[in-house]
Structure 1
Amino acid sequence: MKKIYLITIALVGFMLHAFGQGNTLDKVAAVVGNNIILASEINQQYSQYLYQGHPADSEVKCKILQNVLTQKLLKQQAEIDSIAVEDGQVDDELGKRMRSMVQRAGGQERLEQFLNKSLLQYKDEQRPEVKDELIAQKMQAKITENVSVTPLEVEKYYKSLGDSVPKFNTEVEVGEIVLDPKLTKAEKQQFKDKIEGLRKRIVAGADFSVLAKTYSEDPGSAPDGGDLGFFDRTMMAKEFTAWAFKLKAGDISPVFETDFGYHILQVIERRGEQVHARHILIVPVTTPSSLARLKLSADSIYNKLEKKEMTFATAANVYSDDKQSKFNGGMMLNAEDVRTRTTIIPVDKLDPATFLVIDTMKVGEISKPTLYTSADGKEHYRVLYLKSKVAPHKANLAQDYPKIRDAAQQDKINKTLSEWFESRREKTYIKIDPEYLTCSELKIWTKPEKEDTK
């Protein structure tokens, strides 16, 4: 085993030297055991960092390389421990990332222009990297799976904070019942007639792109003539996906409805399990009559709550149109802490409309229905419930034990991982290209090699 290890080191050393001498092949940024990290991997991640709007910063490359080194070390141990991930998990993760990138780029074509390659090609290139990341995450979870903290350790951790004990702003737990206006068939008809008219013009020979730019109410695609680029079966509303994958290239769909409004779409091209299409969207506008009906419904729900005919949680489950909170007892989640799905929210993280209502409420009170406009510009009626309120204070074990326990747990996990990495670094061959040796983050990875005295 010793001889094989030394041969591996010799070969890797030769590769580092060759790439360092300007070989036309990709340069090696670092080696961890038998895993090679190419400079192109670091540069690609750095390009994504810049594309997200961040300013240029050479130190970021150091942090990227540190993360990749960590990942490769975990991957190497995972191979020893026979830890793997299913291809389906990799596909799911890739799908999530691609959808997020397409959304941030403003469409698939814009993203492909930036990448200078097709999304399918980029996805295939990213597959090995994503798989390695998932394996590393699974290995890290195994290392820390038995880490837990006792009440005594939580207390000891709290005392160790000394003057660094955090201060918490006013925190609240707020419930909501959100009611969306519902248009009658007659109220919707004018909007349906409008898009039916556009469809007839297209069938008669009018330019789809011109009409989309002029009439479509989808701000993301209208400037591009309704062009949505390529998308797969997971990226659109189910009704939209059904028509997109049913039609042939050049076909125009009938008018159909989704939660966003009325659509017509035209398939431009089909590429495997992806479709390139464009569409026109007409959004039905809330009418005074629909809001008046909604107000009556909201008042009725409020009266039931006031008379204790049902609990707030039950009313939210039965009546609320907010899909995130209705199955959570109506309670809003702290968007800043998605990991724990906590309902405790600092008041400075509430949207202004919510804060203005609950600011004058007492704990246990339910607000009268209020009309408000959500981030998407739509009007709704909402009933709010102030479940709890904690005044600003310095963290203490009596009030904040769950938070302090979580912090103590994370601190212990970090120490466990730090010890594990230190041990593995001592036993693993690691070499980093001189270009990165000025990075302070990488100093712990570049200890002098010990001579073999055997």
Structure 2
Amino acid sequence: MKKAAVLNKFLFVLPLLWVLLIYPGVSHAVMLDQIVALVDKEVITWSDLYKAMEFDLKDKVRDMSSKERLAFLKNYEKEFLERLIEMKLQLMYAESAHISVSDREIDAAIEDIMKKYSLTKEQFKDALEKEGFVFDEYRKRLGDQILLQKVGSVIVAEKLIVTDEEISKRKKTSKMSKGPLKYKLRLVLVAKKADKEENLLTKKKAEDIYDKLIKGADFKTIASQYSDAPSAPTGGDIGFVGEDEMAKEMLAVVEGMKEGSISKIFISPAGYNIVQLIEKKTLDTEEKLNTEVRAELLNEKSRQVYKDWIKSLKEKRFIKIIL
């Protein structure tokens, strides 16, 4: 496997936004640097913002002129700036709470990445440098990412409780029940267009997405970026779907898949679909069903707790946006 291809794989080990901040060579469209936001005394600059946008949207802006690129990226300024502000807030909280990450933890994470993709340390560094990454900066940002995971886990874990009453209520109101084989899936949907010419572009988009996936791109990240399905914000996760709940086009594809595999493109009335099978199981006992319902409720609550925590951080800090 070529080093560039390997790099594309292990970059997805990091949440994408952290990758954006360690990519030094993508802000060529930014002519002048300036402060675009203040978080207490911390600053976010124009180049920070455009570096993040250009990396995340690089497939869309690759063939654009500088003028076209700037016009396109301007539409995403507020969204990306909000994400950068939230990252600053979390790092500031970690510092105030005396939560840190040791060198040993960072080294272990890098070792895991190299082991996963069968890379020596020199191959790892070479692949980083070939793509314009500086190893020391990569290591620092990886440490920041581990730190945020640690802080988030503490914040969320303190407030997560699921009662038996909540489980019983969810079982009555949801589709989850004992019965046939269920498949946990992630979905990328490229919605069909009414116009025939536009639909040709839709097909090409689905093919491009599939090409990224078979080359090792992270399905969750790709779904978040490109899927037209309602599940896009959760990385395409549509949870467990029973055989009796699934569209016939999807069932025909999924029932022959192995866990972890990615389907070829298939067409449904909604458009062009690609699915990843995460897990398959039968909820054949009440205990298994209760465990699954509890996990679903914990997942929902953790997202809400995290959202509320970020809101509280914003209320406690001075934030000024200068866009």
TM-score (norm 2): 0.46
Structure with more relative contact order (C-alpha pairs < 8 Å, separation 6 or more): 2
Higher Cα Rg, which structure: 1
